[in-house]
Structures are given as C-alpha cells and as structure tokens.
Amino acid sequence: MKQKNIQTSCDTCLYYAYDEEYEAYMCDMDMDEDEYAHLLSDQHYNCPYYRNGDEYAVVRKQM
C-alpha cells in the first residue's frame, strides 16, 4: 500500500496566521503543550492539523 506524503510546512498551512499582538506569524490551531513541543522538536513529525491554505490548489487540480 502506498503511503501519502503529508506536507507539514507551516508556511503553506491554513492555520499559520499573522498575530498583530506578537507581530509575528504563529500557528492558530489550538494544540496542547505536548503536541506543540513534539512538533517543534521532531523534524519528521507530520502535523495532524495541517491544511493546505492554497485555495487555488483544487482549481489547478481540475485543469
């Protein structure tokens, strides 16, 4: 069985949003402390909350 490659780059994630209070981009997903620490410490960890923020991806796929 072929396994899908899940993209985990925060730069393209729907939940990666600019926070005006901190003046920086941050993850807008509500994670617990353990999940967030695991995400930061393991470079091979696939974020279960990742959603592609490119709204045109579906359109390009249809062409």
Residue 32 has, within 13 A of its CA and on its CB side, a CA count of 1
Which of the four pLDDT bands, split at 50, 70 and 90, describes residue 1? very low
Nearest to 44 by CA among 3, 2, 13, 8: 8
pLDDT, residue 24, reads 93
* DSSP per-residue letters across 1-63: -PPPPPP--GGGBTTEEEETTTTEEEE-S---HHHHHHHHH-TTPPPTT--B--TTHHHHHH-
| pLDDT per residue as tens digits for the range 12-55 | 889 999 999 999 998 899 988 888 888 878 877 788 888 888 77
Which residue ranges make up each domain of the chain? Answer: 10-62
Q: What does the alpha-carbon distance between residue 16 and residue 7 come to, in Å, rounded to a whole number?
A: 14
Higher pLDDT, 56 or 17: 17
pLDDT, residue 52, reads 86
pLDDT, residue 5, reads 46
